[in-house]
Amino acid sequence: MVSHLHTSAQMISPVWLLLFSYSISITPSQSELVLSTQPKDGTGILNRPLMLHCAVYDTSPQTALPVKWEKENGGLAAGVHQMANGSLFFSSLKEGDLGRYICSARNGSKQIKSVVTVSKAYLENVFFSPQSQSVIKGQDLFFQCVSGDSSPTAHISWLKNSRAFTGGTQIQGQYGGGSQRKTSGMLHLTNVTKADQGRYVCVTHNPLLNISKESDTATLIVGGPSMSLEIMQGPENITVAVEMETVLHCVVHGFPTPKIQWFKDKQMLPNTSRWDLHDDGQLLVFKRVLPEDEGFYYCEADNDKERVRSQPSYLLPAVGQQVQVK
């Protein structure tokens, strides 16, 4: 009986060893290419250096591979050099260098690549300015501001009466989502008092270019349940070169917040693409002054409780530089 069992074991062992050996021989070695340094989009300043980094590693036989850089629509331009460590160096970034670049590596049948975009730094004018408000003491309020397109992302800060303002709750984030390059900023003031009154300005800043853009001024008035309307600054006589831009002012304080309308030669101004109203009507902006814009202008503020009107001012279109006449 024992002999029989021994014989069976002798017969089974070689088969088991053969299967085990076969299983080892058909198990493939796991090998892949990985980006040990992932290239990132580059934002640079024209006529300044810029460097992009890229590195590839083969997990078997565990070694670094040489990479190759190329522009998506052709080779590298003069002044753009691939370094020994795989980085791509722009000695002086030019308009023609902007675009998409590919970093790739190959080892036999294995290949890996990554595409990045090179763009120039810029900051456009403020897209949306905070609006003037008149509120009752003890209320909360929000000032909102949206930067112009910016690369890299713009940072938003605030001024009050021309000085840096760090009070309130300041929040910022991407505006609109997706491919938008604007930053949205919010200033939240709670339980406002007379001390919060003043002129508020939103400042957008591009950290790479180290330049800033300021918004239009928003005036905050804090009062009781009712505050008489008063025109603090009305339009002034002005002579403007034809085809130039100009602005007429109508700064109004009072509560409830009034509606502001503009008149020319005693007729309400019609809607037209040649001028815009900003800051709740307190700014009348002429995009392009024409001879037919000559005349007397005044503003009128109405909050259903009272109505006030500014003194008329004369706008004179003329050839030459803009001058003030009073």
Domain 123-223, CATH among 2.60.40.10, 3.30.70.980, 3.40.50.12780, 1.25.40.10: 2.60.40.10
Tell me which amino acid residue 317 is.
P
Which of residues 189 and 254 earns the better pLDDT score?
A: 189
pLDDT at 293: 95
Taking the C-alpha atoms of residue 325 and residue 192, their distance in angstroms, rounded to an integer, is: 40
Q: Which two tokens stand for residue 179?
A: 């491919």
Distances (CA, A) of 145 to 187, 197, 217, 235: 9, 18, 11, 26
Fold that domain 230-318 belongs to in CATH:
Immunoglobulin-like (2.60.40)
| Residue 80 near residue 90, CB atoms below 8 Å | yes
Taking the C-alpha atoms of residue 222 and residue 197, their distance in angstroms, rounded to an integer, is: 6
Taking 80 as the threshold, does the pLDDT of residue 13 lie above it?
no
Domain ranges of the chain: 33-120, 123-223, 230-318
73-110: burial string, b at 16+ Cβ within 10 Å, e else: eeeeeeebebeeebbbebeebeeebeeebbbbbebeee
Taking the C-alpha atoms of residue 106 and residue 100, their distance in angstroms, rounded to an integer, is: 20
pLDDT > 70: what percent of the chain?
88
- Burial zone of 208 (CB within 10 Å; 0-12 exposed, 13-18 middle, 19+ buried): middle
CATH topology agreement for domains 123-223 and 230-318: yes
Q: How confident is the model at residue 253 (pLDDT cuts 50, 70, 90)?
A: confident
Phi, psi of 194 (to 5 degrees): -60, -30
Taking 70 as the threshold, does the pLDDT of residue 321 lie above it?
no
Taking 60 as the threshold, does the pLDDT of residue 133 lie above it?
yes
pLDDT at 5: 39
pLDDT at 16: 42
pLDDT at 70: 95
- CB atoms under 10 Å from CB of 148, counted, come to 18
pLDDT at 326: 44
Taking 90 as the threshold, does the pLDDT of residue 75 lie above it?
no
Which of residues 323 and 301 earns the better pLDDT score?
A: 301
Domain made up of 33-120: CATH architecture: Sandwich (2.60)
How confident is the model over 23-74, as pLDDT tens digits? 444 444 567 999 999 999 999 999 999 999 999 999 887 889 999 999 998 8
pLDDT at 320: 55
Q: How confident is the model at residue 179 (pLDDT cuts 50, 70, 90)?
A: confident
Closest CA to 301 of 229, 209, 220, 206: 229
pLDDT at 7: 42
